[in-house]
Amino acid sequence: MKSYLAAAIQMTSLPDLEKNLAQAEDLIELAVRQGAELVGLPENFSFLGDEAAKLAQAEVLGRESEKFLKTMAQRFQVTLLGGGFPVPASGGKVYNTALLVNANGEEIARYKKAHLFDVNLPDGNTYSESQMVLAGTQIPPVHGSAELGNIGLSVCYDVRFPELYRSMTIAGANVLFVPATFTAYTGKDHWQVLLQARAIENTSYVIAPAQTGWHNTRRQSHGHAMIVDPWGVILADAGDKPGVAIAAIEPARLEQVRRQMPSLEHRVFT
């Protein structure tokens, strides 16, 4: 594993595939111009709005999202994560799918979101992801790269389930992706502390691309795409506007933290 720059992209996606992909391309280019070699796009990067409309367009969204990721990764010669897009599944539902693509435009890891966001929030918004999304049943994959480290995938609501990240860490992960569309209501209290917790307890880097702002008249995202180091230090924060959080992933820092705080070696229960 070498030292390199990683980027967590922050978007305000809309119910418009073409506009979203154009925005994503601009932000990928911005990240690459700043030296990023590993780039992550947030959950719902290609479409965010009415869920029924997303389901109706799922086949096109899935096909075009995957094509876009492979094209961008090859064009900009980066490893690229698409943090969540719909892929048709059985029963008229979709999988919320994260896809990791290498610089040759080849798929190297795929994860179907396991924990679905079915929540009634005090601000009056109700989210019922399971109505249209089929939950994945597999532990997220860990992709081993000699240059970029061992990369684990997750999506948004997964961040509240620490056992998911511990399973990836046991499998060797030291760079954890948490692409998200975190609500403004929950994000102000929980987003940062959850990311720091996952980094600290697994002594791993956390890269968290995010959605921000208003996507329609009711749905607002928290923003603050972040990169967090293995000690829980926030290395980069994109704030509340579309943009990019960029920071160095340093193997020496990873080794230092794991040496000074060898909690992974002290586990009693597995």
Q: Where are the domains of the chain?
A: 4-265
**What's the angle, vertex CA 211, arms to CA 170 and CA 205, rounded to 5?**
25
Say how far apart CA 125 and CA 103 lie, in whole Å: 39
pLDDT tens figures, 2-23: 999 999 999 999 999 999 999 9
Query: How much is the pLDDT for 214?
Result: 95
For residues 93 and 124, the model is more confident at 93
Among 56-60, 70-74, 124-128, 162-166, the range scoring the smallest mean pLDDT is 124-128
Tell me whether residue 113 is one of the annotated catalytic residues: yes
β-pairing verdict for 118-120 and 107-112: unpaired
Say if residue 53's pLDDT is above 90. Answer: no
Can you give the pLDDT at residue 7?
99
Question: Which one of 51, 107, 156, 255 is the catalytic residue?
Answer: 156
State the catalytic residue, choosing from 43, 51, 54, 112: 43
**The predicted structure's pLDDT at residue 125:** 83
Per-residue pLDDT tens over the stretch 178-231: 999 999 999 999 999 999 999 999 999 999 999 999 998 888 999 999 999 999
Q: Which of 18, 29, 113, 255 is catalytic?
A: 113
For residue 123, pLDDT beyond 90? no
- The candidate with the shortest Cα–Cα distance to 64, out of 33, 102, 19, 28, is 19
- In this prediction, residue 182 carries a pLDDT of 97
Rounded mean pLDDT of the chain?
Answer: 96
Q: Give 4-265's CATH code, choosing from 1.10.760.10, 3.30.750.24, 3.40.50.720, 3.60.110.10.
A: 3.60.110.10
126 forms bridges with which residues in the sheet?
120
